[in-house]
Structure 1
């Protein structure tokens, strides 16, 4: 049964538990691979988690001349392979979301790999396993379909991926409260 990372953007309270958990994932060398952004810090406290969306046809992998960025059979786009990465940084420039980061000391790109050591076995990624507000959820595609039905909006818009920039993504999200103009209750 295929599972996906699902993000309810308007649930985020900015606690940054996902960031702390990310550094603890196996193979991350204590490096944070996710971000929490303040949407408009001068106006309110709205925050959103930002991580690799694991594009179906990722620009980072397409732009890599050394083919150092591999795509796992699950759809997870992995960090650059140490033995192949030539440090050109094409991937960091190509990503429309600004996700891959470059470590100058190691001459290597790194990014969220969807905790592939966990998710390949059906275990939620670290970020989703600790999120106290269910902003980040590891759900089945059946559960995703139910959520789409639950969030029927007047204008029919429900963000299931980020098609306006890179095309289909393996990480799904929605913005129902933001799209409907609802105010957060916390």
Structure 2
């Protein structure tokens, strides 16, 4: 049996192999991220190991799926996710909806993982099922990215960072006694928003 690699989302080292009526698939035992479906156990692990670390997509484990085996994950894969710690505000259901404050913990070209802590996080819904189909809007101050010019002097790409807005599609929900975490995708960003995402990536890479 092939050995699954650690989770590209959270670094979890326990892989849960599930089977439904037709397919096998691997699920992270820590964050719940699901791999692609395959017709064999080996195929499911192979697809899990090939999964890109920037996808930020999640598939729910169906109620009829059966746990086949628990596997210990092996080598760390190369991650293209970039850690950061950027303050964010998430509004629920509409741009002017109920606000939740927190931080962006990781960002990729496709999405981000957000963490909300404290009493205000109680505004979040209680489960992924509650979040499905709901609209969310992510706000953050565009970070200043510093770089060196031709003379070796440090310069800033932006003097006064404006507030940026991105529609956010929740795909994964985790909750502990103090922290609510939401992973998701950016929804169809336009050219200006793509520029903001690129600034986020540059900022995270240079930290």
- Whether TM-score is above 0.5 comes out as no
Give TM-score, length-normalised by structure 2.
0.30
Higher-RCO chain (CA-CA 8 Å, sequence separation at least 6): 1
Structure with a larger share of its residues in strand = 2
TM-score, normalised by the number of residues in structure 1:
0.32
Higher gyration radius (CA): 2
